[in-house]
């Protein structure tokens, strides 16, 4: 009787998926802890094509900010042959190796995957052999690495890669990895985009070194508000307020994940969760904090999407952090909170490190070609092929609010490798792309400051943009620097206390007169649009600021009196 029981017990183990996986998988999942995705870098069609260039700073900074792990999405399919033997480009392999080495050297547990393999989603059968060949090469390349490197088989299977097909491909992909990495931790997820809804159709292979990944972006109308590329065209302004209904909706989803994990005795890694920058930071922090509390309660690890792009916690361009979000993720606070830029309409106006969030738009179908990069603290537009219309090549910034009745002043520095004329527009970002105001800027080979102002008379516009239209410029290079857009509110009444002399502001050897009888506040911005000085005043019509308070280069001084707000420009 005892012998029969033992045989039945062994048979039960082998027929029950991961029901009796060892503690090792759970310990390895705990090592992932709270991590973050290095998104929009290596999974772009071309490295850096989505605005995030590789930088060794990322890895040490992520570790310093309290994260335990990093997920490195990579689009291997864009860097490999399309016919057998499907060889991966050596430069790309070396680049990913550099990223893994940098992450591990910084003390980060590291996850690599196959990301954005679009072809396998549309034609799985034609891409199956290539998928397996990619994993054969990746697994062999990193087989000697420590167990701090984790493999994730495929990001968000979807489309024609149905749940039934994916269960087969998953098992074969895992078998290919196990040929060279018999004990490495492998992360697996469900079809139907890897979300909660796909779990019921996921069949886990029999393997004791697996971690389940689930991606979580609910409620989608909050996390992806304003994301046209995700079909979210309903605008922004959606908040997440930690109401009982909102929290219970998340709890219900977490319970589904927990129940599946308990049933299969497999640890859980929420490999992507994030909220887009169109949402307000306070809501994003509350949402993150709620999720993090459930992760802690249920023993899940996670990786926020993502570090320094549209969903990010860090702005490389301005070297600031969304501190509330960072604190909700790791409990740490950063030196500079991005909220200091909330009153600055145009972010990263000096291009000291990158062109983000500015971007280049051109139309190859009309014969145009161009490239943008930062050179010596300026944005350099290289025109490889000009067009027959100005808008065929655009250097753009979007989107921001234009208020009815407010006056907007656009200032920018520009020059070109040869004389050329470009058009600077402020208009609608989308729809009919209506231009509200524009000027023609005659560029020379010497850097000049251009300025234009207009009062916006239309209905308040939520999605405005700045566009430098360069399609007709028959030159090699155009340079941009110090782009600022300032907003001045309408004066609706005049205080009877105004004197003819007004308020006086003395800055170094410069004197400015501003309308009003009392100075309320003064703020000074450096050339990056960073607020570097602010002071509130009481009942005084005179203020003096020592010259040492003014940063080098071009500074903008915002003065608020009892009757108006004025922006002063000072050249040093």
Query: Model confidence over 417-432: pLDDT tens digits?
Result: 999 999 999 999 988 9
More confident residue, 13 or 22: 22
Beta strands, E only, 168-307: 186-188, 210-216, 268-273, 301-304
Q: Residue 371 CA to chain centroid, in angstroms? A: 21
- What pLDDT shows up at residue 517? 83
Reading the block at residue 68, the tokens are 């335990």
Cα Rg for the chain, rounded, in angstroms?
Answer: 28
Lowest mean pLDDT among 61-75, 89-103, 214-228, 491-505: 491-505
Task: Give the β-pairing of 435-443 and 420-428.
Answer: antiparallel
d(CA 222, CA 236): 8
Q: Which of 156, 306, 378, 461 is catalytic?
A: 156
- What pLDDT shows up at residue 462? 87
Reading the block at residue 71, the tokens are 């997920």
- What pLDDT shows up at residue 555? 55
Maximum Cα interatomic distance, the chain, rounded to a whole number of Å: 108
- Look at residue 526 and give its three-state secondary structure: coil
d(CA 138, CA 124): 20
d(CA 16, CA 11): 9
- How many residues are listed for the chain in this entry? 572
CA-CA-CA-CA dihedral for 340, 343, 349, 355, to nearest 10: 70
pLDDT tens figures, 333-382: 888 888 877 777 888 888 988 888 899 999 999 999 999 999 999 999 99
- What pLDDT shows up at residue 516? 83
CB atoms within 10 A of CB 324: 21
d(CA 190, CA 155): 9
CB atoms within 10 A of CB 304: 28
Beta strands, E only, 132-288: 149-152, 186-188, 210-216, 268-273
- pLDDT above 50: residue 503: yes
- Tell me the sheet residues that pair with 186: 151, 210
- Look at residue 541 and give its three-state secondary structure: coil
User: What residues have CB less than 8 Å from 402, skipping those under 6 apart?
Assistant: 408, 426, 436, 456, 458, 460, 461, 464
Please compute, for residue 540, the number of CA atoms within 13 A of its CA located in the half-sphere on the CB side.
12
- pLDDT above 60: residue 498: no
d(CA 503, CA 490): 19
Reading the block at residue 374, the tokens are 């930062």
- What pLDDT shows up at residue 350? 86
d(CA 501, CA 513): 8
Q: Residue 41 CA to chain centroid, in angstroms? A: 10
Catalytic residue flag (residue 520): no
User: What residues have CB less than 8 Å from 432, skipping those under 6 apart?
Assistant: none
Q: What number of H helices and E strands is found in the chain?
A: 11, 27
Phi, then psi, of 376 in degrees rounded to 5: 50, 45
Query: What are the distances in angstroms from CA 415 to CA 38, 354, 448?
Result: 35, 19, 7
- pLDDT above 80: residue 303: yes
Catalytic residue flag (residue 272): yes
d(CA 284, CA 217): 12
Lowest mean pLDDT among 107-116, 132-141, 144-153, 480-489: 480-489
pTM score, whole prediction? 0.77
Query: What are the distances in angstroms from CA 285 to CA 237, 280, 289, 304?
Result: 15, 9, 6, 12
> pLDDT over 70 for what percent of the chain?
90
Lowest mean pLDDT among 61-70, 148-157, 400-409: 400-409
Which element (helix H / strand E) includes 507?
A: strand 503-507
Q: Which of 43, 152, 246, 272 is catalytic?
A: 272
> At 493, is the pLDDT very low, low, confident or very high (cuts 50, 70, 90)?
very low
d(CA 437, CA 255): 53
CA-CA-CA-CA dihedral for 157, 224, 269, 210, to nearest 10: 0
The residue among 527, 529, 501 whose CA lies nearest residue 516 is 501
């Amino acid at each position: 009787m005892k012998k029969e029981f033992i045989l039945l017990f062994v048979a039960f183990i082998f027929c029950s998926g991961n029901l009796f996986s060892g503690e090792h998988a759970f310990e390895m999942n705990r090592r992932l802890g709270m991590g973050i995705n290095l998104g929009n870098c290596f999974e772009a069609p071309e490295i850096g094509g989505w605005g995030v260039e590789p930088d060794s700073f990322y890895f040490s900074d992520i570790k310093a900010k309290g994260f335990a792990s990093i997920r490195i999405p990579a689009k291997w399919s864009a860097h490999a042959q399309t016919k057998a033997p499907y060889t991966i480009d050596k430069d790309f392999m070396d680049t990913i190796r550099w990223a893994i080495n940098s992450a591990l050297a910084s003390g980060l547990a590291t996850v690599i995957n196959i990301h954005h393999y679009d072809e396998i989603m549309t034609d799985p059968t034609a891409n199956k052999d290539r998928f397996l060949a990619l994993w054969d090469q990746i697994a062999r390349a990193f087989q000697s690495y420590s167990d701090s490197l984790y493999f994730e088989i495929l990001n968000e299977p979807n489309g024609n890669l149905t749940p039934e097909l994916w269960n087969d491909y998953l098992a074969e992909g895992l078998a290919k990895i196990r040929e060279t990495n018999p004990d490495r931790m492998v992360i697996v997820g469900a079809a139907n985009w890897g979300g909660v809804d796909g779990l019921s159709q996921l069949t886990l292979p029999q393997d004791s070194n697996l971690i389940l990944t689930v991606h979580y972006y609910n409620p989608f109308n909050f996390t992806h508000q304003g994301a046209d590329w995700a079909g979210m065209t309903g605008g922004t302004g959606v908040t997440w307020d930690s109401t009982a209904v909102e929290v219970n909706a998340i709890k219900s989803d977490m319970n589904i994940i927990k129940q599946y994990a308990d049933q299969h005795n497999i640890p859980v890694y929420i490999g992507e969760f994030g909220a887009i920058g169109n949402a307000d930071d306070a809501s994003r922090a509350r949402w993150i904090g709620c999720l993090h509390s459930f992760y802690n309660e249920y023993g899940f690890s996670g990786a926020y999407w993502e570090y320094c792009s549209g969903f990010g916690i860090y702005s490389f361009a301005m070297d600031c952090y969304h501190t509330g979000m960072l604190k909700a993720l790791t409990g740490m606070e950063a030196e500079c909170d991005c909220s200091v830029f909330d009153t600055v309409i145009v972010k990263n106006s000096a291009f000291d490190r990158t062109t983000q969030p500015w971007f280049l738009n051109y139309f190859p179908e009309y014969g145009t070609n161009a490239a943008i990069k930062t050179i010596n603290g300026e944005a350099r537009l290289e025109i490889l092929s000009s067009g027959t219309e100005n808008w065929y090549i655009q250097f753009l910034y979007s989107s921001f609010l234009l208020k009815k009745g407010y006056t907007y002043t656009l200032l920018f520095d520009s020059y070109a490798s040869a004389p050329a004329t470009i058009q600077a527009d402020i208009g609608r970002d989308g729809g009919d792309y209506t231009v509200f105001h524009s000027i023609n800027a005659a560029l020379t080979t010497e850097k000049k400051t251009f300025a234009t102002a207009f009062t916006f008379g239309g209905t308040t516009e939520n999605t405005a943009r700045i566009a430098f239209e360069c399609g007709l410029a028959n030159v090699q290079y155009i340079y941009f620097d110090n782009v600022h857009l300032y907003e001045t509110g309408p004066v609706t009444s005049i205080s009877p206390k105004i004197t003819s002399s007004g308020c006086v502001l003395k800055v170094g050897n410069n004197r400015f007169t501003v309308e009003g009888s009392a100075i309320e506040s003064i703020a000074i911005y450096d050339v990056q649009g960073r607020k570097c000085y602010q002071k509130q005043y009481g009942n005084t019509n005179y203020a003096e600021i020592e010259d040492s308070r003014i940063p080098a280069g071009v500074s903008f001084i915002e003065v608020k009196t009892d009757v108006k707000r004025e922006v002063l420009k000072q050249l040093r």
